[in-house]
């Protein structure tokens, strides 16, 4: 079961849909996906059957998430985990800093110098968060800053789903389910317990929204109807691609209760030949977001720009929302139009990070902008430029 010596990301393929029941097998091993049952006495090609559960076994059927993976070696074959201090800026202890009710803004975090090799895991920095992964409640927002690929290393989170937003540089992600290539203006979601490795081709930066409870889903559309916002068919899941490699000293890094742990094994964990299920990694091209907006006067609430939401146990209240303000037309009459976009001419201020604290902070435009808008003729205009993203915490 050797790997073909080719550029594996040249012809990356995907399955289309959100929350669907998918099936996939590597074409190099036809018939590797068992038919008619999940756990046969003898799997094809001597593979091992493993179930990866994203919910409790008894979760309601419409919420139940699981996938069956058929792999060359059981994933349990590794040495014991040991504490790892690779990402010193990764934390879940919000008491490390004094509370601050003021709006916060950061310039882009500095990329590592060329003289220093930093991969995706070592380059994780926590910006803010709420709740606690130990109690399975809340979220964390991180940035990643790296300039090197993960060599003989894989990572997974036992704390929650990771929504990854590249800002600079393309991520070439190898997962147990297959390959994904994720560029700026795309997002990827790698769910709890899924192992992956990230390759980069230069200085790379982006954001991560990690939710400690539940999973991301598409928001309800209500009166919008059957179509709109992020359409299910535009979400892409990788197809099976296995690697049968003996790799002594391969490291598995696990984020568990906010800390990192590492275990070694002697083979690649990406040896899944076939799989089926609805608990999968996926990506989405944000340029395909169908924008809904007011066409006469006033503003619809920013919830109409929600791409994905992670619901809480309270109806209508999310643990987190991922929201995008994309290029769009504004046509409202006799209406004050907030400046969702502005021109940025220097890379040092590209894509700054904003933190708006709930209930106690306001985020109006500047005084000069306010006065200019008051005297602006409200003809139709098109907002262009890079999309603005918002990661919003709503659970109380």
Coil, helix or strand at residue 91: coil
Nearest Cα neighbor of 243 from 81, 28, 14, 20 is: 28
Cβ-based neighbour number of residue 103 at 10 Å: 13
Is there a catalytic annotation at residue 299? yes
Token duo for residue 283: 């990506």
Q: Report residue 313: phi and psi, to 5°.
A: -75, -10
334 annotated binding-site participant: no
Under 8 Å between Cβ of 200 and 150: no
What does the alpha-carbon distance between residue 261 and residue 80 come to, in Å, rounded to a whole number?
10
Q: Report residue 287: phi and psi, to 5°.
A: -70, -15
Neighbour-count burial for 164-190, b at 16+ CB within 10 Å, e otherwise: bbbbbbbbbbbbbbbbbbbebbbbbbb
Neighbour-count burial for 228-263, b at 16+ CB within 10 Å, e otherwise: ebbeeebbbbbbbbbbbbeeeebbbbbbeebbbbbe
What does the alpha-carbon distance between residue 113 and residue 147 come to, in Å, rounded to a whole number?
8
Region for 172 from its dihedrals, namely left if φ exceeds 0, alpha if ψ lies in -120 to 50, beta otherwise: beta
Stated as kind and residue range, the H or E segment containing 370 is helix 367-374
Cβ-based neighbours of 352, under 8 Å, separated by 6 or more: 105, 106, 107, 108
Under 8 Å between Cβ of 186 and 286: yes
Catalytic residue among 267, 299, 363, 395: 299
Q: Using CA atoms in the order 338, 341, 343, 345, what is the torsion angle rounded to 10 degrees?
A: 130
Provide the annotated binding site: 342
Query: Which sequence positions are flagged as catalytic?
Result: 299
Provide the annotated binding site for Fe cation: 342
């Amino acid at each position: 079961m050797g790997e073909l010596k080719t550029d594996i990301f040249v012809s990356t393929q995907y399955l289309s849909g959100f929350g669907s029941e998918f099936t996939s097998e590597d074409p190099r091993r036809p018939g590797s996906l068992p038919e008619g049952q999940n756990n046969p006495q003898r799997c094809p090609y001597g593979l091992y059957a493993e179930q990866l559960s994203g919910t409790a076994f008894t979760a309601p059927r419409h919420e139940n998430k699981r996938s069956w993976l058929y792999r060359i070696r059981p994933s349990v074959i590794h040495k014991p985990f040991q504490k790892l201090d690779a990402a010193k800026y990764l934390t879940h202890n919000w008491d490390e800093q004094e509370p601050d009710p003021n709006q916060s803004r950061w310039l882009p975090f500095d990329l590592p110098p060329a003289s220093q090799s930093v991969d995706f895991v070592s380059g994780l920095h926590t910006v803010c968060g709420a709740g606690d992964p130990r109690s399975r409640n809340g979220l964390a927002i991180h940035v990643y800053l790296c300039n090197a690929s993960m060599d003989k290393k894989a990572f997974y989170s036992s704390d929650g789903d990771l929504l990854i937003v590249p800002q600079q540089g393309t991520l070439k992600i190898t997962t147990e389910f297959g390959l994904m290539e994720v560029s700026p203006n795309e997002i990827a979601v790698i769910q709890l317990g899924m192992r992956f490795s990230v390759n980069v081709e230069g200085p790379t930066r982006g954001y991560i929204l990690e939710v400690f409870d539940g999973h991301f889903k598409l928001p309800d559309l209500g009166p919008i109807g059957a179509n709109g916002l992020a359409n299910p068919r535009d979400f892409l899941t990788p197809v099976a691609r296995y690697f049968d490699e003996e790799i002594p000293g391969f490291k598995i890094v696990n984020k568990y209760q906010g800390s990192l742990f590492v275990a070694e094994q002697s083979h690649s964990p990406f040896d899944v030949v076939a799989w089926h299920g609805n608990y999968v990694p996926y990506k989405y091209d944000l340029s395909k977001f169908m924008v809904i907006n007011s066409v006469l006067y006033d503003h619809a609430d920013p919830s109409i720009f929600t791409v994905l939401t992670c619901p809480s146990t309270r109806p209508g209240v999310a643990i987190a929302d991922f929201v995008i303000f994309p290029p769009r037309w504004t046509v409202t009459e006799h209406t004050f139009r907030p400046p969702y976009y502005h021109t940025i001419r220097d890379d040092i201020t590209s894509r700054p990070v904003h933190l708006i604290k709930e209930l106690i902070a306001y985020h109006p435009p500047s005084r000069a902008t306010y006065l200019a808008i008051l005297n602006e003729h409200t003809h139709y205009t098109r907002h262009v430029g890079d999309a603005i993203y918002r990661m919003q915490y709503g659970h109380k």
